[in-house]
Structure 1
């Protein structure tokens, strides 16, 4: 459970309000929508924006840059962030992006959103701005272009693709442009993906203490269905099983296990047929030990030679850790949980 939560936490990207410009990611590039960042929630404006995109010319020639300026309708209007893109225009129907935005001065207040394409510009800092100027050019003269902008006044006030220039046609087709053009009223943009919002709500409300408490309260793995509830460790030939409450009373009166014959048959001790278990009896005591009446639970000589492993067939040694120093169970744990109990020499 802890590993899964760590992976989920590691896979969540850091969500910022883009003070250094809109990121070059597909969702933000295509939507031009600040709602892609969680901090902008609740700031969408559907009123007429107090901004405009002024164009220096009525039409454009191939490979000849034309200037465009994003500015407020008066000198008292400012903005902090923006994204502006050139689109193919056809009676207010926007097509593909065309041309490229270029810099002909040393104004460092804007940058390319994606340097690979150069058809989307954004702010480079979140200081107040009253106007931003850039240039645009196209290598053909086929389509009418319209510049569309998303403008952010502050974190919770912005207009999405609502600031539009007048359409600029190729000069060879129309030198007068569209002087009487009126931009359409703002509309609600398509919704952003909700996974990011829901993930933020979950993890933003969990502090460090709450997270630790949540991990502490995670349910532990349930015992094997065929095993009774553990109340005391009971040594058996191939590990330990969970004893029932009634069986626990019997163990309290007799802490030492009954003596086992020198040669143990693998078919005689199967108290809980849960799943196929490792044949621990594969390493039989040497004949010298049998002549001395040694029990099969005596620590194997392999541990003294540097081998340190847990031999419990169901990997339950971490559950027996609290009994590692118990005199009544120490010799059994040294055989089956030597590594967990640190009995290695």
Structure 2
């Protein structure tokens, strides 16, 4: 699985090939060189490019957009891809990028390579184009600007930073510009990193050989000679993992690793029986009603002389007053054992004071001393 994924990663540039513009990566942004991708190998052109960058004015003013057009020398010349960047110019020496490229029409054939900087424009599709127009502006009037472009006609034919406009100075310094300017002869660009190509060779040696054999013979004088490197070959940097071995060419080859089949042993299984937990008995709580502090008794009063028979025969319900709680100087509870402890919470209640003094004097601490 690992070697398959790495092989697909190595083939991605060959399949995709930047059809929707140069990517916003540091190497491609700085070099403006399609050789950063594997599929463009052998396409560098050192001849005079058949393209130009026409500017609308001879100089520029601060914060006033200037139109520039990338086009061929005639209407029969077309291109598919490009990258344009504005540089500070000083006698054909390019400095840093400055200003910003802006869009003032509805042309969707170009886009910002990196939206954060807005100093590099590229194509947005790989259809044939004959001219592309955009605008540039800056908020100061100090440096002379020159627009530099890399133009790609097709996969194996492109010019790297060889298409240049005439320099535009600030109008407050030079309003005539440089009408007799001649662009320099195309030069060999700096060598790009060959990481993708080396990776392609490691994981697809046959495809890499076919790609190298398909390159035109003119690549020998168009491409710069590779400088002596102090680092070992890429195929020797990548470690050989398990399942790989080195061939005679130094490339990694996949070998099938021996596999052992484990014997299946069935493990004993234990089945648990479900046993319901018996329900715990619920405690029943019965609230006890407090009894009346006085015992209600039926008392019959004998008839006295001078009273009517109805009064003597009448049955009355009266409360019998309790006996004093102190007899012989002793302080004791007259209620049954354990009952006074239930009345302890009412010891300070005025409504129960009389009953508790008579029957629970010791428990409530209501003993009187004579």
TM-score by length of 2: 0.56
Residues 1:99 and 1:320: Cα distance change in structure 2 (over 3 Å):
closer
Tell me, in whole angstroms, the C-alpha distance in 2 between the residues paired with 1:144 and 1:13.
Answer: 42
SS of residue paired to 1:94: strand
**CA 1:11–1:143 in 2, change beyond 3 Å: closer, same or farther?**
same
Structure 1 residues not aligned, in runs of 5+: 208-212, 221-317, 325-340
2:60 maps to what in 1?
Answer: 60
Preserved CA contact (<8 Å) 2:7 2:204: no
Looking at structure 1, the residues matched to 254 and 266 of structure 2 have their Cα atoms a distance apart, in angstroms, of: 29
In the other structure, the counterpart of 2:198 is 198
1:162 corresponds in structure 2 to 162
Distance between the aligned counterparts of 2:8 and 2:80, measured in 1? 31
Counterpart of 1:79?
Answer: 79
C-alpha displacement of 1:17: 1.5
Q: Distance in 1 between matches of 2:204 and 2:109?
A: 32
- CA apart distance, 1:75: 1.0
Distance 1:216 1:55, change over 3 A: closer
Query: 2: CA distance between counterparts of 1:36 and 1:113?
Result: 15
Greater Cα shift, 9-18 or 69-78 = 9-18
Q: How does 1:203-222 map to 2 (within 5 A)?
A: 203-205=203-205, 217-218=255-256
Distance in 2 of aligned mates of 1:59 and 1:122 = 24
2:176: which partner in 1? 176
Superposition map of 1:8-27 within 5 A: 8=6, 14-15=12-13, 16-27=16-27
Q: Cα 1:320–1:53, aligned 2, differ >3 Å: closer, same or farther?
A: closer
**Between Structure 1 and Structure 2, how many residues are aligned?**
223
Check conservation: 2:11, 2:200, Cα contact below 8 A.
Answer: no
Distance in 2 between the 1:187 and 1:85 partners? 18
Match of 1:293 in 2: none
- In structure 2, the CA distance between the partners of 1:106 and 1:342, relative to structure 1 (3 Å rule), is farther
Equivalent in 266, 269, 274 of residue 343 of structure 1: 266
**Cα distance in 1, alignment partners of residues 134 and 91 from structure 2:** 25
Report what 2:320 is aligned to: none
Give 1:206 deviation, angstroms.
Answer: 7.0
Query: Map of 1:263-302 to 2, 5 A cutoff?
Result: none
CA distance in 2, matches of 1:35, 1:74: 27
Is 1:45 equivalent to 2:40 in the alignment?
no
Q: 1:68 to 1:11 in 2, by over 3 A?
A: same
- 1:320 deviates by 6.8
Partner secondary structure for residue 159 of structure 1: strand
Partner of residue 142, structure 1: 142
The CA deviation string for residues 119-148 of structure 1, in whole angstroms up to 9 with x for no partner, is 000011111111000000001111000000
Instruction: State the TM-score, normalized to the length of structure 1.
Output: 0.60
Please tell me the root mean square deviation across aligned C-alpha atoms, in Å: 2.3
Change beyond 3 A, Cα 1:109–1:320 = closer
Determine which structure has more spread, i.e. the larger CA radius of gyration: 2
Q: Deviations over 1:161-184 (max 9, x none)?
A: 000000000111111100011000
Distance 1:7 1:108 in 2: 35
Shift of 1:104: 0.2
